[in-house]
Structure 1
Amino acid sequence: MRYEFRVAGAVSEPLGEAFPELDRTPMPEHTLFYGGVTDEAHLYGLLMRFQSLGLSVIEMRQLPDRPT
């Protein structure tokens, strides 16, 4: 499964490094994190990590799988 997380504001490099399994793209008013999520436990763990670091997830969506 692939997911995209839209986080409010700019995310610093050190905070971004707390998510090594996700790619990151800064946008004008938010930051996009995206990448593979192995299972539901991993998904909830990512959400808890965002929260524990004070990052506000404003949108989350599952992305289509990449063609193999």
Structure 2
Amino acid sequence: MDDERRDGWPMRYEFRVEGVLPEEARALFADMNIEDIPPQTLMSGDVIDESHLHGILAQLAVLGIAVVSVMPNPPTS
């Protein structure tokens, strides 16, 4: 049986943020793939549930990082 839960979580998400993430922010999101695409940064990774998604967005807000877009996307494997 697939390890994905029936409610659709975990789900892969892509976060585009303004600017280049500072090292301390990169460390907080170490479980995500982070790619610099000037003038933005692309972060992608698995989000386990809606609470986790809101937590990521809250963490970005606390760091003062402007979110450009948040998109769910299918897994690459």
User: Which residue number corresponds to residue 39 of structure 1?
Assistant: 49
Instruction: State whether structure 2 residue 60 is matched by structure 1 residue 50.
Output: yes
Q: Which residue of 2 aligns with 1:22?
A: 32
2:4 paired residue number:
none
Structure 2 unaligned spans of 5+: 1-10
Unaligned ranges ≥5, structure 1? none
Partner of 2:28: helix, strand, or coil? coil
Equivalent AA in structure 2 for residue 6 of structure 1: R
Q: TM-score, normalised by structure 1?
A: 0.90
- Distance (Å, rounded) in 1 between the aligned partners of 2:52 and 2:30: 13
TM-score in terms of structure 2 length? 0.80
Deviations along 1:19-63, whole A, 9 cap, x unmatched? 122110001100001000000000000000000011111111001
Q: Which amino acid aligns with 1:57?
A: V
Q: Aligned-residue CA RMSD in angstroms?
A: 1.0
Q: What percentage of residue pairs aligned between the two structures are identical?
A: 37
Structure (1 or 2) with the larger CA radius of gyration: 2
